[in-house]
Amino acid sequence: MFHKEGFKIIAITFLLVALFAVVVDKFVSLQWLQYLLFFTLFVFLFLILQFFRNPKRTTLLNDNTVVSPVDGKVVVIEEVFEPEFFKEKRLQVSVFMSPINVHVTRYPIGGQVAYSKYHPGKYLVAWHPKASTENERTTVVVDNPTYGKVLYRQIAGALAKRIVNYAKQGDAATQGEDSGFIKFGSRVDLFLPLDTKIKVNLNQKVKGGESIIAEM
């Protein structure tokens, strides 16, 4: 199953791979070189398909827990000052996505979208300390009646050149459902209440919509 954001790119990739395969078959006479070029084309197509996959996830809906919005590795767990929306200290948990991870962004908790804003910016590497405030990014806040307000921020990286955000202010948010997509590697930051109990460790791998990041 593939994400709708990839349909156009997948179709173009199929056409290009087929075209180059015909060219290789017609104009490359060395058999070993043919095999090498065919293998390269196959790997390229495989990587594109892998990138835009959208596996079905089973989210156990719970207003007392925050699930990971994306697949990847936990790279930050710390108390920070959040300057854009809360303007106070929060617990930040950041998940880094490599190009081979699933890049679907999912709502970490259910409720109502209280805030959604796009910020143009730079394309520093996603793990850069200033990426959260200087890179292209979107900020979304979901207000849950039990848990309170949870902010998640999609951040572009050196390879990510397009952030897709479906969340609009006033929308109903269902925990675990698609809320966006980041193309070609990046990270997502979560900002949680200080009394939140973090359920993950640094360098732990997590799955979007399933892994529990925190609970009340």
CA of residue 84 relative to chain centroid, distance? 20
* Residues acting as catalytic residues: 186
Q: Which strand ranges, in their side-by-side order, compose the sheet holding 178-183? A: 104-106, 178-183, 162-165
Integer angstrom CA distances of residue 204 from 75, 94, 126, 128, 214: 8, 11, 17, 19, 13
What is the Cα Rg of the chain in Å? 19
- Residue 108's alpha-carbon distances to 24, 51, 176, 216, in angstroms, are 47, 21, 6, 14
